[in-house]
Amino acid sequence: MALASAASARRAAAMATLLVLAGASAATAQAPQTDIYLADLLTGAEGWSVILAPVNVTNRPDFYDNQPFFTPDGRSLLYTAAYDDGNDGQTDIHRLYLQGLRDTRITRTEDMSEYSPTPVPGDRAITVVRVEPDSTQRLWRMSMEGMDAEPLFPRLMPVGYHAWGDEDFVIMFVLGQPPALVGGDPRTGKVDTLATGIGRSMHRIPDQRALSYTQRTESGESWIMRLDMDTRSSSRLVRALDDGDFHAWTPRGTILMASGSRIYEWNPRLADDWHLIADFTSMGLSFSRIAVSPDGARVALVAARVDEG
């Protein structure tokens, strides 16, 4: 009976964590059902990005496929996948080879869950947020095959999201009231709180020694911020579309964000505000996370079906 109770507690904790990391409310009682779509990304005659019709590449409409990240060579997508195989809310990391759409499972941990797969700069490895059997959430490093896993900052928890600046600097979303932006050096293990009240989306800014993250003001506005890696100081870039979190950079230095079935772009060289570049209302999809390939030729879009009627 004690073992059964412990297993039930672990499953409940895993589901609660999935709801938080997925961005869902606990009141929904289940993680969002999402798929990952892939589309070609072009540059139009006027300088704005153009997104062609997206194609569903995970195609599991009743499950959670989310948090895509392109590998450095742009040939694969890493992503988080949830299962309904008796381990409620359990997730593993997958790798989807875009040539032929061959899918492989990187992790297979029955008593743990992994989220937010991210390549480590200059290394054939990835980092993930791992939810351990006691519900501890830490940042772990492992090989691209899921081997030799170890926590990067053993005492820092609970970590929700992260992004690498370079091989010596990573920023992390640490859950709390309010959530904090924490920077860490994996060589020394030193960590510092750099900001508070942050959102879930954070990225390296192309061709700059800087990263971006979102931060919410007391009035409820959400701003995309620029963190200088050398000075550790932050400055505002642009107010987030619909005061949301999820954004992605193109190699051209522009930002993409989604609002429902529409995709917008911020290109300060062309306009001060967000510009509509794609409308997929006819597909019945609502987009959230976005990832752009290193060469800027493809975009991965996380989408949920919009209820009809």
pLDDT score at 110: 87
Cα angle 37-42-43, degrees, rounded to a multiple of 5: 145
Per-residue model confidence (pLDDT) at position 307: 76
Tell me what the mean pLDDT of segment 176-203 comes to: 98
Q: Is residue 32 over pLDDT 70?
A: yes
Q: What is the pTM of this model?
A: 0.90
Summarised one tens digit per residue, pLDDT across range 200-226 is 999 999 999 999 999 999 999 999 999
Specify the length of the chain in residues.
309
CA 56, CA 62: separation in Å to the nearest integer?
A: 13
CA–CA distance, 243 with 127 (Å, rounded to integer): 28
pLDDT at 106 over 50: yes
- Position 89 scores a pLDDT of 74
pLDDT at 5: 39
All structural domains of the chain:
2-305 (2.120.10.30)
Which pLDDT belongs to residue 61?
87
* Section 113-135 average pLDDT: 97
pLDDT bracket for residue 85 (50, 70, 90): low
Residue 13 has pLDDT above 90, yes or no: no
Give the whole-angstrom CA distance, residue 164 versus residue 273: 27
Confidence of residue 29 (pLDDT cuts 50, 70, 90): very low
